[in-house]
Amino acid sequence: MPKWQKTPSINAGMTQSCNEPQFISPQWPAPSNVKTLQSTRLGGVSLPPYDSLNLGDHVEDNQQHVAQNRMVLEQSLPATPLWLKQVHSTLVVNEQQALTCPPADASFTRQKNQVCTVMTADCLPVLFCNKAGTQVAAAHAGWRGLLDGILENTLASFSDEPESILVWMGPAIGPAAFEVGQEVYEAFCTQQPSAQSAFKAVGQDGKWLANLYALARLRLRQRGIENIYGGEFCTFSDEARFFSYRRDGVCGRQASCIWLE
């Protein structure tokens, strides 16, 4: 049995022993050779406030604990993840470039068993594949990257027509928790007037609740992408399962992984 089948995945409403890693299986009609894994905060060795399956090596957690956690993750993968040094950029790299952990916020591959991976703790992780099952990609989309075009740049790595691309949006801060200022509202709505529908005013002081999922859908659909799935999570409110930087300040990171079998 391939080692990436050893650790069972769970759906959003299912639970298992807290001593075991608890993963989420994205629900989307990807080809059978496209494999995905979404980690939660459960099942690792890190101590508070990084408890327990923290995969981020840049958040001042004990590095031995992070290494152990990454080993736990790798037991469910065919290879070491292609970790990126995420900097809220719009840079997309291929699997060879990603091997050096470059400053980038998305990666793609057409090679088997190369695990495109992004880490998040409120920002939006977005997984991509084509219907032919010949290419996958993973992107990290905070509001800055989303505004500047990280999703569009990731789509540009595909040669497929838009109707042949599938997208899954993983756990991010939800629309009832993500408060932003007037400058964020104006930046999105200047670029795309329909983005107004993704914001809800909070009081009279220029604050808004932003819906990252809705903003991502609008930008994807502007590029002709209609096969969009996921978007039902909230890292901020689901403290039991997810890390949230906005909620906790100091916290770990969960990972979103995709590869070709």
Distances (CA, A) of 98 to 24, 169, 215, 235, 254: 24, 21, 27, 26, 19
Domains of the chain (ranges, CATH numbers): 3-8+24-173+215-260 (3.60.140.10)
pLDDT at 173: 98
pLDDT at 229: 98
Element (H, E) at 98: helix 95-98
Total-model pTM: 0.92
pLDDT at 4: 33
pLDDT at 18: 53
Q: Which two tokens stand for residue 1?
A: 């049995």
CA 33 to CA 46: how far, in whole Å?
A: 33
The residue behind tokens 């152990």 is 68
pLDDT in tens, 23-55: 999 999 999 999 999 999 999 999 999 999 999
Query: Which residues are within 8 A (CB) of 76 and not within 5 positions of it... i.e. 6 or more apart?
Result: 3, 4, 5, 6, 7, 9, 21, 23, 37
pLDDT at 204: 76
Residues of the chain short of pLDDT 50, as ranges, are: 1-17
